């Protein structure tokens, strides 16, 4: 029986028997969310939308990391 609050079916259906949170809790927010959307993309019937959401989080993380790079001095 599925527990819609603590262990929804789309959280526990991965063939590895892991829940996505067991992996993503070791990542920063943007990377974790990207992995979450990729991990469950085929489980909710909106794969393209979820993959686009993952890309949005990855693009945001890339932008933040580029902004944090040291700027060359003149």
Decide if pLDDT at 20 tops 80.
yes
Looking at the DSSP bridge assignments, the partners of residue 3 are 7
Q: Where are the alpha helices (DSSP H) in 1-74?
A: 9-12, 20-24, 29-39, 47-68
**pLDDT digits 0-9 by tens, 23-67:** 999 999 999 999 999 998 998 899 999 999 999 999 999 999 999
What CA–CA distance (Å, rounded) separates 39 from 62? 20
CB atoms within 10 A of CB 23: 15
Q: pTM (2 decimals)?
A: 0.80
**What are the residue ranges spanned by the domains of the chain?**
9-68
């Amino acid at each position: 029986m599925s527990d819609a609050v603590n262990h929804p079916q789309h959280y526990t259906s991965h063939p590895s028997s892991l829940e996505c949170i067991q992996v993503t809790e070791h990542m920063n927010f943007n990377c974790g969310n990207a992995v979450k959307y990729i991990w469950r993309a085929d489980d909710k019937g909106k794969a393209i939308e979820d993959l686009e959401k993952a890309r949005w989080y990855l693009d945001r993380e890339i932008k933040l990391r580029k902004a944090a790079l040291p700027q060359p001095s003149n």
